[in-house]
A and B are shown apart, each in its own frame.
Chain A
Amino acid sequence: EDQVTQSPEALRLQEGESSSLNCSYTVSGLRGLFWYRQDPGKGPEFLFTLYSAGEEKEKERLKATLTKKESFLHITAPKPEDSATYLCAVRSGATNKLIFGTGTLLAVQP
């Protein structure tokens, strides 16, 4: 069964304190790994798609990386506005459905 596990469940950082969020996955035939940001009361906002091991993508203070078993979302010098829940998802096999992890709740304190 395809599965996505995210850690930690919650992370509290001081402004400027860099860290990484982890997404471990098991899937039969990866057809994309996705990172989303979700603010309270809103729908998930698309950040990145990664397709193959070794691939990296960057956007502002965020960088996503992918191996054959996990993905990392690196946050460099975070700011309070980076506070949100970060969701990881995989699209598997012959379907186009996304299988999500439970997310990491990030709080960045000034």
Chain B
Amino acid sequence: GAGVSQTPSNKVTEKGKYVELRCDPISGHTALYWYRQSLGQGPEFLIYFQGTGAADDSGLPNDRFFAVRPEGSVSTLKIQRTERGDSAVYLCASSFDGSGEQYFGPGTRLTVT
């Protein structure tokens, strides 16, 4: 079956602009996660959804970052007033019910100029 998909694969934006990153989880997976990965580092947790609600958003770095999952499937990560330090690969993962292994998408590479 289809895996986790993310769009766009690459996004270049200017400092101060607003961006949206999209994640389509594996069909039937109720849990969805966002991570951020900088060069040479492991993924860093941002937020976890169980169904439509954010069960843990403790990894969001500040209030410029926000994520939604209105129908319990597709999720959008929104970043306002982007800064150069936001440049990274944003990874989305899903799991069947939150207790098992997480399957990752290919990521969106965000570059803020």
Q: How far is the CB of B106 from chain A (nearest CB, A)?
A: 5
Inter-chain contacts of A66 with B (CB < 8 A)? none
Q: Is the CB of A44 within 8 A of B43?
A: yes
Bound-complex Cα distance A45 to B107 (A): 12
Known: A95-B56, A97-B33. A46 touches B102 (CB 8 A): yes
Q: Is the CB of B55 within 8 A of A43?
A: no
Count class of interface residues, chain B = 20 to 34
Which residue of chain B lies nearest to A36 when distances are taken between CB atoms in the complex? B104
Inter-chain contacts of A69 with B (CB < 8 A)? none
Q: Is the CB of A100 within 8 A of B101?
A: no
Bound-complex Cα distance A95 to B31 (A): 12
Q: What residues make up the interface of B, taking CB atoms closer than 8 Å to A?
A: 4, 31, 33, 35, 40-45, 48, 55-56, 58-59, 91, 93, 95, 98-107
